[in-house]
Structure 1
Amino acid sequence: MIEFESIHHVSLAVRDLAQAKAFYSEKLGFQEIERPPFASKGTWYAIGSQQLHLLEFPVGETLRESEIDSTDGHFAIWVKSYANTIQALEDASIPYEARPNSLAGFAQIYILDLDKNIIEFDCAYGS
């Protein structure tokens, strides 16, 4: 039997690494961490004790074209404050889809990165 401890990282394909880094580092404020010197182009970020890995993949079928669909593949980050997260997204001019009274049992906010990867921010109702 496999004994699971936690998710270590999520990897996403991006078309332009420089643009993706500007979005994740500057607009969202993710903390970049050291990445081994792989032959591929990419960058890593710390999200608590987990990681997000961005891998440059300029063409291919792994990149989506449609808008937010919460039934599609995505990753979610638990945040402390719904209001502060909305304000930060608005300050950075990042469009979002808010679901403050989601049936999930917690508030949800969805955004798309520049390559239309879906990012979900979750938090307790009323936070």
Structure 2
Amino acid sequence: MKKLIRIKQLHHVSLVCRDLQRSVVFYRDMIGLEQIERPDFDFEGAWFALGAGQLHLIVDEARIPNNPLEPHSRNPHFAIRVEDYNETVKWLKENEIEMIEKPHSKSGFAQIFCQDPDGYLIELHVPQEELRKSL
């Protein structure tokens, strides 16, 4: 089968949010993403470095789902690889961020799922062999 689109990498994920400052604090201070410069659009938002890609927050309350789903690993989400599973769990607990731990997931990743202030699901993970090395 001929490839029609030759993809290099995922560039960014965009999420709409209700309260920009609350979301900025969450992604910057709780998740640890670096806020980066954003063009002067005619609407509020913020951009963050996310590995080789970016996370874009956009304020547009009309486009946010009204009923966030209960946290579940099969809900739509994006994943961030972290350095240390146990340190991440400890940090989330210290900051009272509700999470679901799946250290032995069949995916091959030791996974942690949490939600941002607007209910978007985030997977934080390490390869399971890295978790086994730390035990």
Q: TM-score range by the shorter chain?
A: over 0.9
Residue in 2 that maps onto 1:31: 34
Residue in 2 that maps onto 1:119: 122
**CA distance in 2: counterparts of 1:57 and 1:34, whole angstroms:** 20
SS in 1 for 2:24: helix
RMSD (CA atoms) = 1.4
Aligned length in residues: 127
SS in 2 for 1:25: helix
**Are residues 1:53 and 2:52 paired?**
no
**Are residues 1:81 and 2:84 paired?**
yes
Residue in 2 that maps onto 1:97: 100
Residue in 1 that maps onto 2:70: 67
Match of 2:9 among 1, 6, 10: 6
Residue in 2 that maps onto 1:108: 111
Which structure would you say has the larger Rg? Answer: 2
TM-score by length of 1: 0.92
Q: Any gaps of 5 or more consecutive residues in structure 1?
A: none
SS in 2 for 1:101: coil
Asked if structure 2 preserves the Cα contact closer than 8 Å seen for 1:110 and 1:118, the reply is yes
Amino acid at match of 1:16: D
SS in 1 for 2:61: coil
Q: Measured at CA, do residues 49 and 60 of structure 1 come closer, stay the same or move farther in structure 2, by a change above 3 Å?
A: closer
**Are residues 1:18 and 2:26 paired?**
no
Q: Any gaps of 5 or more consecutive residues in structure 2?
A: none
Asked if structure 2 preserves the Cα contact closer than 8 Å seen for 1:14 and 1:63, the reply is no
Asked if structure 1 preserves the Cα contact closer than 8 Å seen for 2:68 and 2:120, the reply is no
Kindly provide the CA deviation profile for residues 83-117 of structure 1, in whole angstroms up to 9, marking residues without a partner as x: 11111111222111000000111111000011000
TM-score by length of 2: 0.87
Asked if structure 2 preserves the Cα contact closer than 8 Å seen for 1:64 and 1:117, the reply is no
SS in 2 for 1:59: helix
